[in-house]
Amino acid sequence: MITIIGAGKVGGDAALFSALKRLDDQILLLDIAEGLPQGEAMDLNHMLSEQGIDVEVKGSNNYEDMKGSDIVVVVAGSGRKPGMTRMDLLKINASVVTKVVDNIKKYADNALLIPVTNPLDPMAQIAFKTSGFERNRVFGMGGMLDLSRFKQFIHEATGKSRKEIDAIVIGEHGENMLPLTRFATVSGNPLPSIVSKEKLDEIFQDTKSVAAEVIKLKGATVHAPGNAISSIIENVVKDKKQVMPVSTNLAGEYGYSDVSIGVPAVIGKNGVEKINELELNDEEKEWFDKGVTSVKNALGEISS
């Protein structure tokens, strides 16, 4: 069973995409808001019935119902409002995630845990520490969402099919994210050989700033994060062992320990099966270091 804690727009979309991909025959939507997960489950089941898809979605306000879950996604918490940075959400959501993870420990202690709540990297670290789970079992969705935006800007800049784009975004899920333009390829050709340095810089900056633009225009980002969550779940369920950017606890990789941040990782049935260490140049390393510092400072603010 897949459990998604937080039945708002992103949680509902994550359930929708997971059901359409038939990633499990049971999906549970959990939320403290009375009626919300039940109503969302009804709506999804009606759609799935017409589609002829035998996935049952259940809505609940009771943590005990997630017993036996193989994967638990944590979307619960306050959303990012127009004008807010992810870090503005820091203290509000830290207490929410801690309480949620305490319940996961109680009722689904064998599950893989996928934090989504912002600010993502500090919340992933809090989830890891609070759960006491092995580090391979806790990996946050941040980089996958950033990657979806990065790929779109590459597509717009080159006019090439989205299928032909291979790219990666690492570092903090926030203002210090690191879209690795140097490592991106289109139809097997390095992106820097296809577009100008000015266009590379534009893609880099646009990837960093576009989330705030979407939030300003429509109030929240929904479809891209919902899909990103389902893509991570799909890699686990199908044991695809695809390299994906996820926020997970480092133990010496990239020169850091005891901090969760976005890195390229092989994702399979056991969660994070390997962390790939890329050879970063000085500028890339500087951005990655800024992200680590930001996450550590955020965690320090919570504990102070």
**For the domain that residue 266 is a member of, what is the CATH number?**
3.90.110.10
Residues in the chain: 304
Number of domains in the chain: 2
Q: How far is it, in rounded angstroms, from Cα 127 to Cα 119?
A: 12
Average pLDDT over residues 39-55: 98
Same domain, 209 and 242: yes
Angle between helices 223-237 and 143-158 (to 10 degrees): 110
Contact assessment for residue 301 and residue 90, using Cβ atoms and an 8 Å cutoff: yes
Residue 80: the pLDDT is 67
Average pLDDT over residues 132-136: 96
Residue 90: the pLDDT is 86
| Structural domain ending residue among the three candidates 98, 117, 137 | 137
Q: How far is it, in rounded angstroms, from Cα 48 to Cα 27?
A: 12
Catalytic status, residue 173: yes
Residue 193 has pLDDT above 70, yes or no: yes
Same domain, 298 and 168: yes
- Higher-confidence position of 86 and 293: 293
Residue 69 has pLDDT above 80, yes or no: yes
Contact assessment for residue 228 and residue 75, using Cβ atoms and an 8 Å cutoff: no
Residue 88: the pLDDT is 72
Residue 115: the pLDDT is 97
**Enclosing domain of residue 242:** 143-303
How far, rounded to the nearest angstrom, does the alpha carbon of residue 259 sit from its chain's CA centroid? 16
Helix (H, G, I), strand (E, B) or coil at 57: strand
Contact assessment for residue 271 and residue 139, using Cβ atoms and an 8 Å cutoff: yes
Q: State both tokens at 28.
A: 């549970």
**pLDDT tens, residue by residue, 237-254:** 999 999 999 999 999 999
Q: How far is it, in rounded angstroms, from Cα 36 to Cα 235?
A: 28
pLDDT band at 89; cut points 50, 70, 90:
confident
Residue ranges of the alpha helices (H) in the chain?
Answer: 9-20, 36-51, 90-107, 120-131, 143-158, 197-218, 223-237, 282-303
Same domain, 36 and 14: yes
pLDDT band at 228; cut points 50, 70, 90:
very high
Average pLDDT over residues 197-202: 95
Residue 168 has pLDDT above 70, yes or no: yes
Q: Catalytic pick from 46, 155, 173, 223?
A: 173
Same domain, 200 and 124: no
Same domain, 182 and 296: yes
Residue 38: the pLDDT is 98
| Structural domain ending residue among the three candidates 93, 111, 137 | 137
Contact assessment for residue 125 and residue 104, using Cβ atoms and an 8 Å cutoff: no
pLDDT band at 145; cut points 50, 70, 90:
very high
Q: Could you tell me the pTM of the whole model?
A: 0.94
Same domain, 14 and 53: yes
Q: Which of 2-6, 22-26, 58-62, 93-97 has the lowest mean pLDDT?
A: 93-97
| Other beta carbons less than 10 A from residue 127's beta carbon | 27
| Structural domain ending residue among the three candidates 77, 109, 137 | 137
Residue 87: the pLDDT is 64
Look over the chain and give the mean of its residue pLDDT values, rounded to a whole number.
Answer: 94
Same domain, 117 and 158: no
Same domain, 270 and 170: yes
Same domain, 120 and 103: yes
Residue 236 has pLDDT above 70, yes or no: yes
- Higher-confidence position of 215 and 5: 5
**For the domain that residue 119 is a member of, what is the CATH number?**
3.40.50.720
- Higher-confidence position of 79 and 164: 164
Residue 304: the pLDDT is 60
Q: State both tokens at 56.
A: 């049952």
Residue 132: the pLDDT is 96
Same domain, 128 and 175: no
Q: Tell me, what DSSP letter sits at residue 182?
A: G
Residue 85 has pLDDT above 70, yes or no: no
Residue 6 has pLDDT above 80, yes or no: yes
Closest CA to 170 of 298, 107, 268, 256: 256
Same domain, 155 and 286: yes
Closest CA to 84 of 212, 176, 224: 212
Residue 271 pairs in a beta bridge with: 268
Q: How far is it, in rounded angstroms, from Cα 167 to Cα 144?
A: 11
Same domain, 81 and 111: yes
Helix (H, G, I), strand (E, B) or coil at 71: strand
